[in-house]
Structure 1
Amino acid sequence: MSSIKIECVVDERNKIGESPVWEEKEGTLLYVDIQEKQVKRWDAASGHVQTVNVGAHVGSVVPRKSGGYILALGTRFAFLDWEKKKVTDIISVDQDKANNRFNDGKVDPAGRFFAGTMSMEIRPAEVERHQGSLYTLHADHSVVKHFDQVDISNGLDWSPDHKHFYYVDSLSYRVDVFDYDINSGSICNRRVLYKMEEDEGIPDGMTIDSEGKLWLACYNGGRVIRIDPETGKRIQTVTLPVDKTTSCCFGGKDYSEMYVTSACLGMDDKWMAKQPQAGGIFKITGLGVKGIPPYAFAG
């Protein structure tokens, strides 16, 4: 077993750091601060962070094959031209729900953007229940709604053989699995894969490794856990120096590093004094496993 090392590589107080995506060509980590309405890019070589303010709560950001990025922003999908710092709307969802916003999202292996909604938080992790839905933005900019009655649409990923879709609705305190059709992007046959243990906190963002195991960030649990989808069992826990771990992705030269985002929203001075790196981004090395390069939006 290699020795695991954890370091805070971006020591900044993101209110809700989320949606990390590694950009291999640039050697940069893309992420958002939902609360501060910002898309950010950290350069691993220089340590420099660039920021674009996008004017609304931004749940997730993904790269686009033809350049630039796609955002799940407020209750709409939008393009972001990074150089011009320009946001262009594509299509809106949840138009009957003025208090909703997008949360986590990810591109599937065929280049579609899956992203879900939730109601605005009253307090951290406290929301009006059953207000969210899960959507897909297709390459032709059409939108499909998969289901509604979601509390906090969160982590999502696909199995390496593209046969399964994994999904978190945070307040269900579990990870679910669906059968997934890569040709159509449809999902069906939802079932429970993993139920959170008492001390693990709230299931948040997640990523898959090349061995087909899931890594789940545990909000208020201060850890990422590795789950074996075949057995539904937790097989590893990595503890971080902050409680509000929000999401994770693999990156680095060969995708052997894990990056974990975190939040500090709702923490008082005493709590912040104990966890001064809350809201920062952490790099975990020595896990002995690699990730899968992220997919880019095809449209």
Structure 2
Amino acid sequence: MSSVRVECVVKESCLIGEGPVWEESDQTLLYVDIVGQKIHRWSSATNSIQSMATEHTVGFAVPRRSGGYVAGVGRSFMAIDWSTQTASPLAEVEQCELTNRFNDGKVDPAGRLLAGTMAIECPGEKQGSLYSLNSDLTVTKHFNQVSISNGLGWSLDHSVFFYIDSLNFTVDAFSYDLNTGALSDRRVVYQMECDEGIPDGLCVDAEGRLWVACFNGGRVIHIDPNTGVRLQTVCLPASKTTSCCFGGPQYSDLYVTSAGLGLDLNQQPLAGCTFKVSGLGVKGRPSDSFAG
């Protein structure tokens, strides 16, 4: 088995780094700093970062087929024109819930954008919901009673949607209708163990298995969703690991974001940095882009 190597590739610390997406065309890593209120693009070729500030917290940014990105800013889906560094609203959710914000978001293979909300102050009160932004820019609400909406992904045949509500300490699965975006038959595919931390962002590899970042766990765990077995643990030099995606040559590297907020950087100097894990022996898949 190849030896696993963990390297800090983006040394600029985020307060809460999140939502990494590999952009194949430019060999760049797109990610956000949620409470730092910025969208970042790191170039693997030049080791440089381009950034854009947002007016509120930014939970995610994903590529858009027509160009630019769609970001979850506050409680709004926003169109991002990177060339002009401007944002324009597409749709808003929860107009009455002023204490919520978007957290994680990801695009399904049909081009829908699924994203969830969470309470800014008291996530344990479960006042978040999961939504999808459809290609015609209408919004569908799937369910509520969410603590911290996180980790989204799809099985290789697109028939299963994986989802994390962090404070449930489980990785869940739904039956997924790609034609309609409908969710059904929620079940648990992995129960976190007591030393693993809080399940956060996830990605799916080319073998259909899951990689889950563990907040307060300083690790990413590799899970077989069919058996509920943890196959591998990758430890990182930052306790608040937040999310992950595959990228690099043939999608053979795993990029992992982290948070530095609330940590003593003298004790954890790499907290909030972004890491590259190589030598895993598995590959990922390209991300999908929003169709609207």
- Residue aligning to 1:112: 112
- Residue aligning to 1:130: 126
* SS of aligned partner of 1:273: coil
Query: Which among 192, 204, 210 is matched to residue 208 of structure 1?
Result: 204
Q: Which amino acid aligns with 1:87?
A: A
Cα distance in structure 2, aligned partners of 1:166 and 1:266: 29
Cα distance in structure 1, aligned partners of 2:34 and 2:140: 24
Q: Does 1:279 align with 2:272?
A: yes
- Residue aligning to 1:101: 101
Q: Does 1:81 align with 2:74?
A: no
Q: Does 1:41 align with 2:41?
A: yes
Query: Which among 275, 278, 297 is matched to residue 290 of structure 2?
Result: 297
Query: Which among 216, 224, 228 is matched to residue 228 of structure 1?
Result: 224
Query: Which among 128, 138, 145 is matched to residue 142 of structure 1?
Result: 138
* SS of aligned partner of 1:254: helix
Cα distance in structure 1, aligned partners of 2:125 and 2:64: 32
* SS of aligned partner of 1:171: helix
Cα deviation code 1:233-260 (max 9, x no counterpart)? 1111000011000000000021000000
After TM superposition, give the deviation of residue 127 of structure 1 in Å. 2.6
Cα distance in structure 2, aligned partners of 1:7 and 1:275: 15
Check conservation: 1:24, 1:253, Cα contact below 8 A: no
Change in 2 beyond 3 A, CA 1:217/1:4:
same
Q: Which amino acid aligns with 1:280?
A: C
- TM-score, length-scaled by structure 2: 0.99
- Residue aligning to 2:54: 54
Cα distance in structure 1, aligned partners of 2:213 and 2:117: 19
After TM superposition, give the deviation of residue 128 of structure 1 in Å. 4.7
- Residue aligning to 1:174: 170
Cα distance in structure 1, aligned partners of 2:171 and 2:289: 24
After TM superposition, give the deviation of residue 274 of structure 1 in Å. 2.0
In the TM superposition, structure 1's runs of 4+ consecutive aligned residues that sit over 4 Å from their partners are none
Cα distance in structure 2, aligned partners of 1:81 and 1:165: 29
Cα distance in structure 2, aligned partners of 1:150 and 1:109: 24
Check conservation: 1:64, 1:297, Cα contact below 8 A: yes
After TM superposition, give the deviation of residue 192 of structure 1 in Å. 0.8
- Residue aligning to 2:25: 25
Cα distance in structure 1, aligned partners of 2:284 and 2:136: 29
Specify every segment of 5 or more residues in structure 1 that has no aligned partner in the other structure, as ranges: none
- Residue aligning to 1:238: 234
Cα distance in structure 2, aligned partners of 1:4 and 1:13: 23
Aligned residues: 292
Q: Which amino acid aligns with 1:209?
A: D
Specify every segment of 5 or more residues in structure 2 that has no aligned partner in the other structure, as ranges: none
Identical residues among aligned pairs (%) = 57
Cα distance in structure 2, aligned partners of 1:64 and 1:253: 22
Check conservation: 2:71, 2:80, Cα contact below 8 A: yes
Cα distance in structure 2, aligned partners of 1:29 and 1:211: 22
- TM-score, length-scaled by structure 1: 0.97
